[in-house]
């Protein structure tokens, strides 16, 4: 297929990945701000400085643009998470970081808009099998990250004999559910309570002697896919 927008500038022809990234960034921002149903291909084209025809050339459908925008958002999240996991020394600190990046806003009242990407993906996946496949893949990566933290804790002797994969399934579902309440500003489930619930569950299920902290760590909203993404 030939691109519907050809440029006489050789440098432009050598930068398709950069153009694609610009469109993905625009799509992620717009869907987070407005929601999937209110975001048009023309809006993405305008914000990224491209033509609607070029956006369609790269992504074919609006549904595909949604899932690719979420993948784009998640890539930066996992790069930041990998660096944080490497820096932190204990399983407790690592799990706290994962919970905080999902449940705890970076600033007072700040819930990053990329949560809207996940809300829309879940809604679309409920009715569209192709999007459902992407949802499974993206959620599994989150579970794998949690399970890896548990296995590293077991190797270090901090966590006992538990099924890391089984824990990851339950823990990811718990913190995703708590994060939704935080994102929707539920008056009962605020960030501090969400953090405390998640870590109390982890301590109980992993058989550790972790005691609750008085305040949750403000790691910032690393998880741009879920909370700004989870």
pLDDT along the chain (230 residues), means of 10: 46 69 89 85 93 92 86 80 90 92 62 67 86 88 95 94 97 93 90 93 91 59 46
Domain that holds residue 226: 75-230
**Are residues 188 and 142 both part of a single domain?**
yes
Q: Are 84 and 97 in contact (CB under 8 A)?
A: yes
**How many domains does the chain divide into?**
2
**Are residues 49 and 157 both part of a single domain?**
no
pTM of the complete model: 0.78
Question: Is 54 part of a structural domain of the chain?
Answer: yes
**Are residues 136 and 106 both part of a single domain?**
yes
- Residue 108's pLDDT is what? 44
Question: Is 67 part of a structural domain of the chain?
Answer: no
CATH of the domain at 52: 1.10.10.60
**Are residues 134 and 197 both part of a single domain?**
yes
Question: Is 135 part of a structural domain of the chain?
Answer: yes
Q: Are 4 and 57 in contact (CB under 8 A)?
A: yes
Question: Is 70 part of a structural domain of the chain?
Answer: no
- Residue 88's pLDDT is what? 93
Return phi, psi of residue 45, to 5°: -60, -45
**Are residues 167 and 217 both part of a single domain?**
yes
């Amino acid at each position: 297929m030939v691109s519907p927008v050809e440029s006489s500038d050789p440098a432009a022809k050598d930068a398709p990945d950069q153009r694609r990234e610009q469109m993905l960034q625009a799509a992620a921002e717009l869907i987070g701000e407005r929601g999937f149903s209110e975001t048009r291909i023309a809006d993405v084209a305008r914000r990224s400085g491209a033509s609607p025809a070029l956006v369609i050339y790269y992504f074919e459908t609006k549904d595909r643009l949604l899932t690719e925008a979420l993948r784009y958002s998640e890539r930066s999240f996992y790069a930041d998470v990998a660096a944080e996991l490497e820096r932190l020394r204990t399983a407790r600190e690592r799990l706290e970081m994962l919970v905080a990046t999902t449940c705890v806003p970076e600033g007072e009242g700040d819930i990053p808009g990329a949560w809207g990407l996940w809300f829309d993906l879940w809604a679309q996946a409920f009715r569209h099998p192709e999007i459902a496949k992407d949802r499974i893949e993206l959620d599994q990566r989150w579970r794998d990250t949690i399970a890896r933290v548990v296995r590293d804790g077991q190797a270090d002797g901090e966590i006992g004999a538990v099924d890391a994969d089984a824990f990851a399934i339950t823990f990811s579902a718990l913190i995703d559910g708590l994060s939704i309440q935080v994102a929707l500003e539920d008056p009962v489930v605020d960030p501090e309570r969400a953090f405390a619930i998640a870590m109390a569950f982890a301590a109980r299920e992993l058989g550790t002697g972790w005691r609750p902290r008085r305040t949750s760590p403000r790691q910032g909203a690393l998880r741009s896919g879920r909370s700004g993404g989870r």
